[in-house]
Amino acid sequence: MPAAMTALVAAAIDVGTDVAEAFDAHDAGGGGLPQLHAPDFAPQLFWLAVTFVLLYWIMSKIALPRIGEVIEERKDRIQRDLAAAERLKAETEKALASYEKALSDARANASTIARQTRESLNAEVEKDRKAVEDQLARKLADAEAAIDATKTKALASVKDIAGDAVVSIVGTLSNVNATKDEIARALAASGADK
């Protein structure tokens, strides 16, 4: 671009000088706006071209790339820092989530273990109780059986004793020697042994 601009400015100076000559021919000096004083055009155009091209070169080659670099670098840095912060935040959140999960797992575990312990204890107690109860029930049944047997035996003896008693009573009272068989028949007939 600078080369093109230089050519351009050279052409412009040419035109400017032509115009200047035209003005000179027309306006024989004296008064007039300084801006329209044509002989001054050429030096202004020349120095404008020189300074502008030089300034453009310095700006585009030295000054602006530096500023742009610094700004770009800062933008990158901020972007990077932001990204890092974002990543750290995500990691923290993940850690927090895993911690909470571990906590709730532990809690669930604890309650499961407690329940299991309770259940197993309960079962054991139940078993023991059942065993004891069974034993007791068996003993009770044995005892009841023994009692029944004794009762039956006693009742049977009662009949004998009653018969003997009746024979002796009858013999004593009425001098009748009733036999044991007769007494038993009489008792049976009266339904007393019921």
Please give the residue ranges that form the binding site for other proteins (CB under 8 A).
1, 5, 8-9, 12-13, 16-17, 29-37, 39-52, 54-56, 58-60, 62-64, 66-71, 73-74, 77
Which C-beta is closer to other proteins: that of 78 or that of 137?
A: 78
Distance CA 99, CA 166 (A): 97
Min. distance of Cβ 13 from other proteins in angstroms?
Answer: 6
Distance CA 38, CA 50 (A): 20
Q: Which of 61, 39, 53, 54 is nearest to 9 (CA)?
A: 53
Which C-beta is closer to other proteins: that of 78 or that of 169?
A: 78
- What is residue 179's three-state secondary structure? coil
Distance CA 56, CA 12 (A): 18
Which C-beta is closer to other proteins: that of 74 or that of 87?
A: 74
Min. distance of Cβ 82 from other proteins in angstroms?
Answer: 15
Is the separation of the CB atoms in 40 and 65 below 8 Å? no
Min. distance of Cβ 88 from other proteins in angstroms?
Answer: 21
Which C-beta is closer to other proteins: that of 2 or that of 171?
A: 2
Min. distance of Cβ 9 from other proteins in angstroms?
Answer: 7
Distance CA 16, CA 158 (A): 166
Which C-beta is closer to other proteins: that of 63 or that of 95?
A: 63
Min. distance of Cβ 27 from other proteins in angstroms?
Answer: 9
Supply 31's token pair. 């008064």
Asked whether the CA dihedral 151, 156, 159, 161 is positive or negative, the reply is negative
Is the separation of the CB atoms in 19 and 38 below 8 Å? yes
Distance CA 53, CA 5 (A): 7
Min. distance of Cβ 66 from other proteins in angstroms?
Answer: 5
Which C-beta is closer to other proteins: that of 19 or that of 146?
A: 19
